[in-house]
Amino acid sequence: MKETASFCKSYLLWIFSLSAILYAYSVGFYNGNNSCPGAEAIVNEVVTKAVKANPSIAAALLRMVYHDCFVRGCDASILLDPSLSNPEPEKTALINLSIRGYEVIDTAKAALERSCPGIVSCADIIALAARDAVGLSGGMAFDMPTGRLDGMISSVQDASDNLPGTTLSAKEMTQQFAQHGLTQDEMVTLAGAHTIGQAHCDQFTNRLYNFPGSPTGIDPTFHPTYAEHLKSICAVETDSDILVPLDPLSPNVFDNNYFMNGVLGMVLFSSDISLFYDVQTQAMSHLNAQYEELWETKFAKALVHLASLQLIEPGEPGEIRTNCRSRNHEL
């Protein structure tokens, strides 16, 4: 009986200590409590190898943190695979079918489990991977707070309801970001992430063919030469597998070309070009085009804010997953 009581007391003390550690969301969290001092270096090593092998994976990892955090907060719910108890998680939503980079998160998690099992959350890996993706693509280095927990809920409907598409207006995007506590300037700033990555033709051919009210059929806000170039790649009934760089000039470099391209009418999505014509966002967009260092500084702050949305609080259901694709009780 004494041994049992002693074990229970030790177990409760361990749980209390772990809870105190887990909820101290801060920069250098795993260093500060000495729970896994090499965590950020391990994630960085994995992401570095992945980006060197395929530079486009940087944009995929940056997109992943956005798609995760906009749905129930930054809790790695986007990583959960379908299961018997949850056959339709977030990743099965139509808007998430093109999300890539899951294998990078898996590799980082496996390395962390070997080094310090049961300590680093998958939600933190997503946030750190996005931060590293920016730096590895030529963007500025910045700190990313850690100490998140992994969520227990992942719903296809939540993803469909909360993730904005590429056809929204600047006003609609402002409203959607505001619902998550992000300002209009943060929304415009974060749109600059489209300086890296690729888009499928069918995401923007609505601006190339049969555009309403246009005698040429092309969205008049498109740079005409660029539009003709895109038409040579993307036919009317194009294969959705065809990819076009979001930035035609430096597709794998994290710079402010997105904004300079936007001023010239050389961005792909309706949601992007709207930022350069709406009276409330035009000045911000032009300012970001003119001052690259200012934009990069704002981007770092905005990404940290995005990656802190709706964190799981003490007493709420959360865990440190052993496998990022499954909740622990399903393993």
Q: What's the mean pLDDT in 271-300? A: 98
For the cut 90, the answer to whether the pLDDT of residue 198 exceeds it is yes
Which parts of 166-259 are beta strand (E)?
A: 198-200, 243-245
Rounded Cα gap, residues 297 and 12, in angstroms? 43
**What are residue 17's phi and psi, to 5 degrees?**
-65, -40
Residue 309, both tokens = 């949305």
Whole-model pTM: value is 0.91
Give the tens place of pLDDT for each residue, 165-194.
Answer: 899 999 999 999 999 999 999 999 999 999
What is the mean predicted confidence (pLDDT) over 237-248? 85
* Mean model confidence pLDDT for the chain: 92
Confidence bin at 238 (pLDDT 50/70/90): low
Catalytic residues: 67
pLDDT-derived band at 319, boundaries 50, 70, 90: very high
Categorise residue 12: left if φ over 0, alpha if ψ from -120 to 50, beta otherwise. Answer: alpha
- Residue 78: name the closest of 5, 145, 156, 136 by CA: 156
